[in-house]
Amino acid sequence: ALALQFVARWQPEIPDLHVVSESDELGQPLYKVHTGNFVSRALARAEVQRIEREHGIAGFVAESGD
């Protein structure tokens, strides 16, 4: 519910936000908020920095699950 609330709050300003559901090593559900697809880690890092600067939201670049 918190991830969905976060996306609902910020999606008008950051349109690519979406919730991704995964399971941890114990099978417990995890809900992560993702934004965008990037061709390089440098471009992803630049977007994180822009979001932090413009919206005050901390983030990080995660490895692809592919």
Q: Three-class SS of residue 15? A: coil
Q: What is the pLDDT of residue 36?
A: 86
Which among 49, 48, 56 is positioned nearest to 17, based on CA atoms? 48
Dihedral, 55, 1, 16, 45 alpha carbons, nearest 10: 60
pLDDT band at 64 (very low <50, low <70, confident <90, very high): low
Q: Three-class SS of residue 5? A: helix
pLDDT band at 62 (very low <50, low <70, confident <90, very high): confident
Q: How far apart are CA 30 and CA 49, in angstroms?
A: 24
The terminus-to-terminus CA distance of the chain in angstroms comes to 26
